Amino acid sequence: MSPSIHVENIQFIYPAPPAYVAWLMGQGRRRVEALKDVSLHVSASECVSLMGSNGAGKTTLLKIILGILRPTRGTARILGLSPGDFETRRKVGLSNSDERSFYWRLTVRQNLAFFGRLWGLRGSQLEDRIDLIARDLDMEDLLSLRFGKLSTGMRQKAAIARALIHDPEVLLLDEPTRSLDPLAAATFRRLLKSHVLAGRATLIATHQIEEARELSSRCIVLSRGSMVHDGAIPGMDELEALLSTGRRP
Amino acid sequence: MNRSPFQAVLRRDISHAWSYRLNFLLSTFSTFFAVVLWFFFAAFLGPRAGKTVPGGYFAYVVVGTSLLGYLNVVLHTFAKKIREDQLMGTLEMLLASPSSPFALLTASCLWELILQTVQVSWALALAGLLGVRFQFGSLPALLLLFVLTLISFAAMGMLAAGILLVFQRGEPVTPFVGALFALLGNVFFPLTVLPRPLAFLARFLPLPYATDGIRKLLLEGAGAKAVYGDLTALAVFAVVLLPLSAVVFAGCLKLARRYGLLSAY
């Protein structure tokens, strides 16, 4: 069976624009190689952790898998299809780490309904999904609040709810528990485990080794854009060495 | 593909507009003051000014500014919405959805167009009360002219949106284009008062044909035959500009994905 997420030899360079374009854009001309020959796969019913220091390339990799960024070289496939394919996108859920990515004047329910409709949900099916996800994440009382009034942790819950609203087959999660309190984080992890057991493929970027251990059997470590580990969750000493030097101790 | 994000985007925009209720109500009635202003301005100019334009100066300028309003809405809204989504961080989520970027872009304009239509309806109704006699020479021709005008305007709005995606900073082109159209668009005065080179330049813009054609149909009661030339010109603009702007927008989007500019602002 082909993996749900398949990434092969991905390289991503933030290219230096031509001098006149850089001048017009008010930007420098630095060329940054964010990812170097990264390959990975995640199967159905599997949760894989993606670890790495800040700026190691985790978010860039997730954006490439989702089709938001175009890789300089290499290919990414989801369920055997290109990430840009609309049918593929319907089956992918993303919880990004950007807390701004909602409409602040709208309530959480209005936001979730908007994104749910974009993902093809309608009518009572949409309302039922919103209520179900809100119950699962223990955030029913947030639905009627304006997004702009929420705390950082509450916004994070809304981002997780959005990722799950259309019941996706593949989940890409970028530090989903970063701002959650311990209780909310535990609730989320329980829910995620049930999703994985139900056959979902999940790639989760996290900085917490305990979370990686609890959720996944395999871990990928990125260091300065290169993949330096793909295997069992490393111990703390090994992880520190991988993150700082890119090598095992 | 989710082929109709229109409902989702329209509901979002209505909810958003309604969350600023005072602004929503004021903007709906804002044209009232503009129409009254033009009425007294036309009175100040006197009947002599009105003789040189169809329907008198007041009717002439009300129709012209109504169309200019549509141009401004379409020209500005595409870029404005993209800019807002860049700032709010929602642009990446929208482009990760199973909806075509073109459909999303078009849908983002829908609410503003409805609002503009409400405002124009108020303006025309008020102008009618103040003595303007509207005649519907040919309703099908009027609708066709209007649709072709909107397509031509939308194509230019899409070009501006594409440029914004790459250069990030707000609307670099639209204020310039808006001012150019106000000057050369046959909106406030006939093109005959312009120096020849400027009048010649106006031939390459869609707005003069739109204002000319719609005035003929609405104010002179002319039939479809009388606006054949305007219809043809607008059709040419639509056929040339729409594919061109779609290609430019797609190219800019590709560039933004390649350079990682979608979340930049």
Nearest to B167 among A14, A24, A102 (CB): A24
Distance CA A64, CA A68 (A): 6
A100 touches chain B (CB under 8 A): yes
* Residues on chain B touching A96 (C-beta within 8 angstroms): 92-93
Which is nearest to A176 in space by CA: A194, A201, A202, A143?
A: A202
Distance CA B143, CA B138 (A): 9
User: Angle formed by the axes of helices A108-118 and B6-18, to 10°?
Assistant: 160
Nearest to A114 among B12, B166, B262 (CB): B12
Q: Are B62 and B38 contacting, i.e. CB atoms less than 8 angstroms apart?
A: yes
Indicate the pLDDT class of residue B258, thresholds 50, 70 and 90: confident
Measured at the CA of A173, the angle between CA A171 and CA A176, to 5 degrees, comes to 135
Residue length of chain B: 265
Sign of CA dihedral B246, B87, B100, B11: negative
Contacts with A, B 128-187, CB within 8 Å: 166-169
* Residues on chain A touching B165 (C-beta within 8 angstroms): none
Helix, strand, or coil here: B140? helix
* Residues on chain A touching B170 (C-beta within 8 angstroms): none
pLDDT, residue B52, reads 77
B262 touches chain A (CB under 8 A): yes
Q: Are B155 and B245 contacting, i.e. CB atoms less than 8 angstroms apart?
A: yes
Query: What count of other Cβ atoms lies within 10 Å of the Cβ of residue B200?
Result: 12
Quick one: DSSP state of residue A235?
P
Averaged pLDDT for residues B108-131: 91
Distance CA A241, CA A228 (A): 11
Quick one: DSSP state of residue B224?
G
pLDDT, residue B264, reads 62
pLDDT, residue B77, reads 86
> Is residue B212 packed enough to be buried (19+ CB in 10 Å), middle (13-18) or exposed (0-12)?
buried
A32 touches chain B (CB under 8 A): no
Nearest to B97 among A87, A96, A118 (CB): A118
Tokens of B170: 């707000």
pLDDT, residue A239, reads 81
Distance CA B187, CA B207 (A): 8
Averaged pLDDT for residues B236-265: 86
Q: Are A233 and A219 contacting, i.e. CB atoms less than 8 angstroms apart?
A: yes
Average pLDDT, chain B: 87
User: Angle formed by the axes of helices B57-88 and B174-184, to 10°?
Assistant: 170
The complex's ipTM? 0.87
Q: Give the residue from B6, B14, B15 with the most A CB atoms within 10 Å of its CB, the best one to mutate.
A: B15
Q: For chain A, list residues with pLDDT below 70.
A: 1, 21, 24-29
Q: Are B217 and B69 contacting, i.e. CB atoms less than 8 angstroms apart?
A: no
Tokens of B58: 């007041």
* Residues on chain B touching A109 (C-beta within 8 angstroms): none
Q: Are B253 and B162 contacting, i.e. CB atoms less than 8 angstroms apart?
A: yes
Nearest to B97 among A14, A105, A119 (CB): A119
Averaged pLDDT for residues B4-23: 88
pLDDT, residue A246, reads 73
pLDDT, residue A27, reads 66
| Per-residue pLDDT at B93 exceeds 70 | yes
The Cα-based distances of B228 to B138, B141, B181, B225 in angstroms read: 12, 9, 22, 5
A73 touches chain B (CB under 8 A): no
Question: Number of residue pairs across A and B with CB atoms under 8 Å?
Answer: 99
Query: What count of other Cβ atoms lies within 10 Å of the Cβ of residue A209?
Result: 17
Reported as a single tens digit per residue, the pLDDT across A122-179 is: 989 999 999 999 999 999 999 999 999 999 999 999 999 999 999 999 999 999 998 8
Indicate the pLDDT class of residue B261, thresholds 50, 70 and 90: confident
Distance CA A142, CA A134 (A): 8
Averaged pLDDT for residues B194-214: 92
DSSP B88-104: HT-HHHHHTSSB-HHHH
A23 touches chain B (CB under 8 A): no
* Residues on chain B touching A106 (C-beta within 8 angstroms): 12, 15-16, 19
pLDDT, residue B9, reads 94
Which is nearest to B123 in space by CA: B29, B41, B219?
A: B29
Name the one residue in this structure whose structure tokens are 């705390």: A151
Distance CA B79, CA A38 (A): 36
Contact A101 B90 (CB under 8 A): yes
pLDDT, residue A102, reads 94
pLDDT, residue B161, reads 85
Contact B263 A103 (CB under 8 A): no
A172 touches chain B (CB under 8 A): no
Give residue B211's identity as a one-letter amino acid code: T
Write phi, then psi, for B239 (nearest 5 degrees): -65, -35
- Alpha-carbon distance A106 to nearest alpha carbon in chain B (angstroms): 6
B15 touches chain A (CB under 8 A): yes
| Per-residue pLDDT at B170 exceeds 60 | no
Reported as a single tens digit per residue, the pLDDT across B151-162 is: 998 898 888 888
